[in-house]
Structure 1
Amino acid sequence: MNAHPRKATIYRMVMPNHVCPFGLKSLDLLKHEGFSVDDNWLKTREEINSFKAEHKVETTPQTFIDRQRVGGYDDLLRHFGKNVRDPNAVTYQPVIAVFAVSASMAVAAGWAMFGAVLNIRVAEWFVSISMCILAIMKLRDIESFSNMFLGYDLLAQRWIRYAYLYPFGEALAGVLMFAGVFLWLAIPVALVIGTIGAVSVLKAVYIYRRELKCACVGGDSNVPLGFISLTENLMMIAMAIWMLIK
């Protein structure tokens, strides 16, 4: 470790009812980069406004290195050559998280119940848990979901209420299939919403070549409509057919 670390000065908001998260991230980043940090707290709205006026800045935190202002947290990331997240960038991270957690839960349940993970019930649980988690993500903000869903779903465009019913149907089918009960209800629900969804995605993306965002993980996602949404719907169709045959 460097015996004489470089020094940085940071001014960040630390108020009784709010501690700026970007200030904490900036402080942690500086320490991680080996800086000795002079940590200055702006404890009142008056102190914050005075600081902004003095340095002609609009936001805090603000970091200074070698008496030169670097800027806020994103500026600090750029200063150290690190990637800055683009909030509008396309990402599959939410979908990866859903399927990874669903698979982990299904495997854990299989291990607890049967002492093994290579079991047909584990595969069934994976699909049903995925359906439940995806439904939860839609239900976090059903208005936002419905707005995005209406952009491509064929039935929702003709019957608006379907955009609100869809996540409840997905959750219902997922829960019933997980438990293996009332399949007379779960199978047709999954088959209907899965088929309509698959046809809608095929038409929007693969026939009309539209570039849309997928509502599969909620209406605030940047997941592109296409393979992922199609996979979600095909999983429901496959699960319904499997349950019917079984």
Structure 2
Amino acid sequence: MTTASTNPPQPSTSEKTATLYRMVMTEHMCPYGLKSKDLLERRGFKVEDHHLTTREETEAFKAEHNVETTPQTFIAGQRIGGYDDLRIHFEIDKPEAEQSDTSYTPVIAIFAMALLMALAVSYAAFGTIFTLRAFEWFISISMCILAIQKLQDVEKFSTMFLNYDLLAQRWVPYGKIYPFGEALAGVLMTAGALTWLSAPVAIVIGGIGAVSVIKAVYIDKRELKCACVGGDSNVPLGFISLTENVMMLAMGIWMLIRYVG
């Protein structure tokens, strides 16, 4: 470790040497500085690690190099920039102008965890993952996790939901009721309790949701964000949201048939 120099970094004699300036203070250690150092080392660079140990030293460094943030990485005397710039330099990420604002990562994570949880519960209860109940739990647990995403900020969810849900557009409070209904149905279906209540709730909200998505996306051809994973979603409205609603509808009908039968 070395302290920050007031002199601009000179070109390195080795292509695999990088100079890093990052904040390391008693009250604050910059996480992006640590991530930059780790990334450089994983890419085979020897890191000349300069610590900015005071606010005054940090502000002087930023003024000297005309930058607004730290950390800052220099390779072969050329300033690369902060952690995000470093990822772009190594072609891990694309430049912001080329990045898509669409991401399916939250949905993939939710359904993957729901599946694993369902299989785990099935194994704990029956000693095997290959059960019909595991499939039922997968759907009900998915509903619970999706409800959690919405319940984190009901106001944002309901605002996005109003863009396409047919019932919410006619009766605005439904947008705030929906996540509670999904949570209730998911919990009761996971427990296998009060099917007379959970099944109709799932059928109603799933059916209305499916029709709303079909109309907005496949009939009206509108390009909207899906509220299925909350109000900050970057998931496009379409197949994912339709799948969520069809799953609820199908689960509700299935559970009702089993209950009546």
TM class, shorter-chain normalised? over 0.9
Which stretch shows the higher mean deviation, 139-148 or 83-92? 83-92
Cα offset, 1:213, TM superposition? 0.5
Of 34, 39, 47, the residue aligned with 2:49 is 39
Contact kept? 1:74, 1:84, Cα under 8 Å? no
Runs of at least 4 residues off by over 6 Å: none
Distance 1:89 1:39 in 2: 34
Distance 2:51 2:182 in 1: 48
Of 38, 44, 49, the residue aligned with 1:28 is 38
Of 68, 90, 93, the residue aligned with 2:102 is 90
Residue identity (%): 66
Distance 1:186 1:116 in 2: 26
Cα offset, 1:5, TM superposition? 7.8
Of 155, 171, 174, the residue aligned with 2:167 is 155
Alignment partner of 1:18: what SS?
coil
- Residue equivalent to 2:91: 81
Q: Does residue 141 of structure 1 match 2:153?
A: yes
Alignment of 1:145-224 (within 5 A): 145-224=157-236
- State the one-letter code of the partner of 2:64: E
C-alpha RMSD of matched pairs (Å):
1.7
- State the one-letter code of the partner of 2:198: A
Q: Does residue 15 of structure 1 match 2:25?
A: yes
Cα offset, 1:85, TM superposition? 7.6
Distance 1:171 1:111 in 2: 24
Alignment of 1:105-144 (within 5 A): 105-144=117-156
Cα offset, 1:93, TM superposition? 1.1
Q: 1:139 to 1:119 in 2, by over 3 A?
A: same
Cα offset, 1:7, TM superposition? 1.9
Distance 2:94 2:140 in 1: 36
- State the one-letter code of the partner of 1:169: G
Distance 1:44 1:154 in 2: 56
- Residue equivalent to 1:54: 64
TM-score, reference length from structure 1: 0.93
Deviations 1:7-43 (A, max 9, x none): 2111112334433222121111110111111212223
Aligned residue pair count: 243
Distance 2:28 2:174 in 1: 41
Q: 1:188 to 1:85 in 2, by over 3 A?
A: farther
Contact kept? 1:5, 1:34, Cα under 8 Å? no
Distance 2:243 2:95 in 1: 27
Contact kept? 2:88, 2:95, Cα under 8 Å? no
Distance 1:115 1:59 in 2: 54
Contact kept? 2:111, 2:142, Cα under 8 Å? yes
Deviations 1:166-187 (A, max 9, x none): 1111000000011111111111
- State the one-letter code of the partner of 2:118: A
- Residue equivalent to 1:237: 249
TM-score, reference length from structure 2: 0.88
- Residue equivalent to 2:113: 101
Of 65, 75, 80, the residue aligned with 1:65 is 75
